Amino acid sequence: MAILSIQSHVAFGHVGNAAATFPLQRKGWEVWAVHTVMFAAHAGYGPPAGPIFSPETIREVVAGLERQGFLSQCRAVLSGYLGDAALGEAVLDAVARVRKHNPDAVYCCDPVMGDAAPGVYVRDNIPDFMRDRAIPAADIATPNAFELELLTGIPIVRLEDAVASCQALRRSGPDTVLLTSLEREGTPDGMIEMLTVTGEGAWLVATPKLDLTPPPNGAGDLTAALFLANLLDGLAPPDALAATSASVQAVFQATARVGTRELAILDAQEAFVAPPAAFDAVSVG
């Protein structure tokens, strides 16, 4: 079985498909990577160089997979940075095509729109598309705290706010929500948290917040991919949360050791299949 991953790609570094493909493969999943853009490097190095692919290109590639009879082998669709709502519609077309051939396939939407410091860094039509079209179609959503507030309109100050915001997002479509970054009143000093909420409950995990300067890009892309794979591998949501946080923490530690601004995905690859440290996922609702 395979995962169809539709998101950005860079030749240098690890964001988008360049952050998701190898970790998923290392965990034993076939990955069909369809790129929305093909840049030399991410925008942290300056204006991106390379083509932005059209929605028609995305549709043509997915239609080719369908003609060859491959889509019945697809277990999940993963989407990340889109760049324009028209590309998002092509992603939803791909989800519909996959579900036609495999009704049990799941859609994991990483609603990439921005973060606290830079604010919104996508086109103006993306937030509405995410809220009105992508999230209602998703089975799993993996926003960061800024994106979750943008999608639900609920300010996240306390843990109760975070849980309520995740529940509000669930009511709009996805059964499972992973809040990939949480710093709120009560977060222990020197820690950062992740929260997952499903119809069965809510669970919180805290990991050390490492001083990585500049912070590496692509951590959200990596987290979404690993969480999806852990769920597909049969882990219950709290166990998938704990395993994901442990793997991501190992990548951060390796990145700090080598002193690069890119995620040290190759150095930490064993952590995708056997995370070296365990973090407890605590029930909070």
CB 181 within 8 A of CB 145: yes
Q: Tell me: the pLDDT tens digits for 99-150? A: 999 999 999 999 999 888 888 888 899 999 999 999 999 999 999 999 999 9
Tell which wins on pLDDT, 31 or 116.
31
Q: Would the pLDDT of 48 be above 90?
A: no
Q: Return the pLDDT at 123.
A: 87
Mean pLDDT of 85-99: 97
Overall average pLDDT of the 67-95 stretch:
96
CATH of the domain spanning 2-283: 3.40.1190.20
pLDDT at 66: 98
Q: What helix, strand, coil percent values describe the chain, rounded to 5?
A: 40, 20, 35
Indicate whether 215 pLDDT > 90.
Answer: no
Query: What average pLDDT is seen over the chain?
Result: 95
Query: Could you tell me what percent of the chain has a pLDDT over 70?
Result: 100
Q: Where are the domains of the chain?
A: 2-283
Cβ neighbours, 10 Å, residue 103? 7
Q: How far apart are the C-alpha atoms of 92 and 238, rounded to whole Å?
A: 28
pLDDT band at 62 (very low <50, low <70, confident <90, very high): very high
> What pLDDT is attached to residue 122?
85
Q: Which of 51, 31, 56, 32 is nearest to 40 (CA)?
A: 51
User: Residue 24 pLDDT > 90, yes or no?
Assistant: yes
